[in-house]
Amino acid sequence: MASGNLQPKNKIIYFITLFLILGTFVSCEREANAPSGEFKVFNIPENLSNGDLVFRKGTDLISRCVLSQGESPRFSHVGVIVLSGSGVFVVHSLPGGTKSVNGVQMEPLSSFISSENASEVAFYRAVGVNKRSRADIRKYLLKQIGKPFDEKFQLSDDSRMYCSELVVKAFRNAGMNIFEKLPTIKVMLVDEPVLPPGYLCRSYHLRVIN
């Protein structure tokens, strides 16, 4: 044993050090295996890139008991992945709330998909998206940051953006009209047809990223 030739005082220090190192490993192991309770951790694909889409479902009453019904995914929000030197971000548009900023914003992916914000998450990639279109999508999205949320849900107006509108226009700007034939819904008090976020992932031009 390596401690065989050590002086008694050094032996004590050696065992204390060994104990502390082992203790650290054991406590890390415990933490990793700790029951997560109601917190859900979502897997993030390793190969995410600019222009990939991230959908989420909220954690509220209606998301749980209404949007969760049936087999098809029903997401309540969508954003677009933007890579930055400091990590992976999501550019998305939110209506202002008690805790959220109004309008187009850039948020770390880890926060976007945190268990506080999401009960379900899925990542999608457009078929045929290339380096050039990814760059165009990224550039367009960064230019939109700060625009207010479009509470009138008007696709015809670029001064305000709702979440699906931001995605559709970012891809359209990159020459990819991949959401044009999707169904829309008519919402009371809204003049134009609305494209809900959950409908975007029905596009035949999108593939799930695992």
Partner 1 sequence: MNARRKWVATVLLLSVILITGCAKSPESTVRSFYRAVEKGELTEARSYVSSQILQMLGEAKISVALSGETEKIGKCGGIKDIDVKLEGKGQVRSGIAVVTFAGQCPPSTEKVKMIKEDGKWKLTAEK
Residue closer to partner 1 (CB basis): 195 or 206: 195
Interface with partner 1 (CB under 8 A), residue from 23, 87, 95, 146: 95
**CA dist., res. 96 & res. 103, Å (int):** 7
**Does the protein bind partner 1 through residue 186 (CB under 8 A)?**
yes
Q: Is 77 in the site for partner 1 (CB under 8 A)?
A: yes
CB 95 within 8 A of CB 77: no
Residue 20 binds partner 1, judged by CB under 8 A: no
**Binding piece for partner 1, criterion CB under 8 A, among 59-67, 126-134, 138-146, 169-177:** 59-67
- For residue 106, what are its two tokens? 């850039």
Counting contacts by CB under 8 A, is residue 194 touching partner 1?
A: yes
Which secondary-structure segment (H or E) carries 204? none
Q: CB–CB of 96/149 below 8 Å?
A: yes
63 binds partner 1 (CB under 8 A): yes
Among 48, 83, 94, 182, binds partner 1 (CB under 8 A): 94
Give min distance, CB of 19 to partner 1, in A: 41
CB of 182 to partner 1, least distance (A): 13
**How buried is 191 (Cβ within 10 angstroms: 0-12 exposed, 13-18 middle, 19+ buried)?**
exposed
Angstrom distances, CA of residue 92 to CA of 34, 36, 72, 100, 156: 32, 28, 23, 12, 18
Q: Which residues bind partner 1 (CB under 8 A)?
A: 57-70, 74, 76-77, 94-100, 151, 163, 185-189, 194, 196, 198-199
